[in-house]
Copies of this chain bind each other. A is one copy, B any other.
Amino acid sequence: MMKIGVDIMGGDFAPEATVIGSILAQKELPYDTKLVLLGDEEIIKHIANRKKFDSSVWEIVNTSDNIGMGEHPSKAFSQKPNATIPVGFKLLKSGAIDGFASAGSTGAMMVGAMMIIKSVEGIIRPCIATMMPTNSDNPSIILDVGINPDVRPDVLLQYGILGSLYAQYVLGIENPRVALLNIGSEEEKGNLLTKAAFTLFKESNEFNFVGNFEGHDLFSDEKADVIVCDGFVGNVVLKEAEAFYHLIKKRNVNDVFFDKFNFENHGGTPILGINSVAVIGHGISNDIAIKNMILNTCHVVKAGLIDKIKEAFK
């Protein structure tokens, strides 16, 4: 039985969106997957009742404490041991759940990931990845999108390995093409970081390196499946894509394709390189986004990604 912990108190629209999202996810989950809801039991049951959903299929860990978005992550983490995120990470660490998802405080999620679950041995810096929509059915994955704004070239190399494993085992892409986000297609182009990284990537045989990738190559699956960059650049790229989406909405463009750019609906951002599965949802997640976050978490657990990563870094 696979168990997935869901933070019911986290996110701008919790607990309404998180409980309803859990109901929606439950309906799509196979019988061997159990959701473990962390939150105020009474509220959870009340919302489920209202939705005519039998909450007895869930395991509920009753706690009403929550780490707010404005709180200092590491302080709050130690001062509120009964808040949903610290409790979630304790369960994850103990093996009581196989994955944990929250649209609550990103900072607290990172504290739990780094302090409780810890990096896979050999990994210098875990990172977060997100899917980039493309003009085809295949999304590409970009990493890091914001955890590590200053990194060394060997950290980028590890992102290449992590991204490649994710693309292969979670997205089902065979021999994924890994590219380095850069400012020119030629080998000698770039800043000090990408130039050094290019050399490492070229010499490595740990993934299928296809060379440099430029900003104008984004939103297309022609060149690469995995796009590697530092967390500063990745964060700017991701947020620029969000800006496009807002512009598209503002201009009333009628094309459902562009809904792919609604990152608020995406299934969350997995923290890659730690010893278990933790997925961070967008703070303003609605019920659909919560559903997608839960399904995505199950998907990553089922893919056995953590074992594949451990193996690669052995």
Interchain CA distance A216-B251 in the complex, whole Å: 16
A192→B231 CA distance, assembly (Å): 12
A173 interface residue (CB < 8 Å to B): no
A15 vs chain B, min Cβ distance (A): 27
Q: What is the bound-complex CA distance between A219 and B250, given in angstroms?
A: 11
Cβ–Cβ contact B232 & A233, under 8 A? yes
Decide if B247 touches A219 in the complex (CB within 8 Å). Answer: yes
Q: Mark A233-267 against chain B: 1 for CB-CB distance below 8 A, else 0.
A: 10111111111101100110101011000000000
A191 within 8 Å of B (CB atoms)? yes
A64 CB within 8 Å of chain B: no
With A135-B247, A150-B191, A192-B150: A237-B215 Cβ-Cβ less than 8 Å: yes
Task: Report if A29 contacts B (CB, 8 A).
Answer: no
Residues of B within 8 A of A219 (CB): 243-244, 246-247
Q: What is the CB-to-nearest-CB distance from A256 to chain B, in angstroms, rounded to a whole number?
A: 10
A68 interface contact, C-beta 8 A = no
Chain B: which residue is nearest A229 at the CB level? B236
- Binary flags per residue of A183-218, CB closer than 8 Å to B gives 1, else 0: 100000011101000000000000000000011111
Mostly, the A contact residues are helix
Which residues A110-160 have CB closer than 8 A to chain B?
A: 135, 146, 149-150
Among B146, B215, B230, B251, which residue has its beta carbon within 8 angstroms of that of A239?
B215
B239 in contact with A216 (CB, 8 Å)? yes
Q: Tell me which residues across on chain B come within 8 A of A214, comparing CB atoms.
A: 236, 239
Picked from B215, B244, B247, B255, the residue with its CB within 8 Å of the CB of A238 is B215
A63 within 8 Å of B (CB atoms):
no
Chain A, 288-314, contact with B by CB distance < 8 Å: what is the 0/1 string?
Answer: 000000000000000000000000000
Cβ–Cβ contact A251 & B255, under 8 A: yes
Contacts of A191 in B (CB 8 A): 149-150, 230, 232
CA distance A246 to B191 in the complex (A): 26
Structural contact, A216 and B232, CB atoms closer than 8 A: no
Q: How far is the CA of A219 from the CA of B253 in the complex (A)?
A: 16
Choose among A149, A237, A250 the residue with the greatest number of B CB atoms under 10 Å from its CB.
A149
Given contacts A215-B239, A216-B239, A218-B239, 4 further A-B contacts (CB under 8 A): A183-B235, A190-B232, A217-B243, A219-B247
Chain A residues within CB distance 8 Å of chain B: 135, 146, 149-150, 181, 183, 190-192, 194, 214-220, 230-233, 235-244, 246-247, 250-251, 253, 255, 257-258
